[in-house]
Amino acid sequence: EVQLVESGGGLASAGGSLRLSCKASGFTVDDYAIGWFRQAAGKERERIAAMSSSGGTTTYYSHSVKGRFTISSDTAKNTVYLQMDSLKPEDTAVYYCAADRHWMTLVAGDERYVAHWGQGALVTVSS
């Protein structure tokens, strides 16, 4: 069974840092494109970061997080991370990791067609 489990959410102060983890089971992260999305209260879900399969040589960051967030992976742990630095109150949201075999589906396609989703992790940034 394919499963993605996020952890590492919580409360941070503006300017602080948090690291989210996305532990995969049932598949190898190196075989999939992996991405992070977020959804703030009352807003649509937003794709914010992604890395390609086979070593993650290609990455994507949304304008809202570029330069502050970094996506990475540890294939030995079959885990993908989102390091979030210089946090802002507007980063407050539920963060989801997602996986799909197809890069374009993950970074540009209709997210309803993304194959696998985690359950979400709440990040709250106080001012």
Residues 93, 83, 58, 49: what is their CA dihedral angle, to the nearest 10 degrees?
10
Q: What is the pLDDT of residue 81?
A: 97
- Given a contact cutoff of 8 angstroms between Cβ atoms, the answer to whether 45 and 39 are in contact is yes
Binned at pLDDT 50, 70 and 90, residue 26 comes out as very high
Nearest to 62 by CA among 49, 45, 80: 49
4-16 CB burial, b ≥16 within 10 A, e <16: bebebbeebeeee
Average pLDDT, the chain: 95
pLDDT by residue (tens digit) across 33-91? 999 999 999 999 999 999 999 877 899 999 999 999 999 999 999 999 999 999 999 99
d(CA 17, CA 96): 17
Between 109 and 106, residue with greater pLDDT: 106
pLDDT at 24: 97
Q: What's residue 55's pLDDT?
A: 77
Q: What pLDDT sits at residue 10?
A: 96
pLDDT at position 120 over 90 = yes
The pLDDT value recorded for residue 56 is 76
Q: Are 56 and 72 in contact (CB under 8 A)?
A: yes
Helices (H) and strands (E) in the chain, counts: 2, 11
